[in-house]
A = this chain, B = another copy of it.
């Protein structure tokens, strides 16, 4: 019953496609060709078609893919039944930014609880999200059946917090602290290392200045 023959990269893109498809649907577009979705998602058409192979959703050469069905198929693959509850540990600037990020639009993910040891922060409610002291973490996580943890604490606390999350039954963690987290094999850790992202970007800025200018031409788009 191995449910993962689906490439990770495909999962990521399906998330992106779904957002674009929802926008199309709002604009009344019921069908889309792979090459047009490819432009909107900044991918190749063949990539789009390959990705959709995992959905067992077929298109007609005349009309293309049925947008509504695609969205449902992707949702069936990505979403759980109900809204997926997440908890965030570390209510600094980054923590607040994430809480805010998930508020508003009808996302299927929500941050249900926050945790911080700073007494000025806990027992407050930030943008609809209640903040508790870290001691209460295990209790709240189990009570609320929270499935995903987000770590935005300083790097020296990250591994420790991760282990507490795992002991409370959390099965997936997004770690924003700039240090990799180690975990048992059945817990998925997403190390979102912003420092690496920016240093990589800086590296490209550097080598693009060293080497000669080569213009590929601006391709506008996405303003349908």
Contact = CB atoms under 8 A, between A and B. Distances in A.
Nearest to A187: B208
Contacts of A188: 201, 204-205, 208
B218 A163 contact: yes
A190 B182 contact: no
| Chain A interface size range | 35 or more
A3 B211 contact: yes
A186 B172 contact: no
Given A101-B93, A179-B222, A210-B3, A197 B192 contact: yes
A97 B15 CA distance: 24
Chain A contact residues, majority secondary structure? mixed
A178 interface: yes
A44 interface: no
A16 B178 CA distance: 8
B174 A186 contact: no
15 contacts: A3-B207, A16-B180, A84-B206, A107-B195, A109-B202, A147-B205, A148-B201, A166-B218, A171-B204, A174-B198, A174-B201, A182-B220, A182-B221, A184-B215, A192-B197
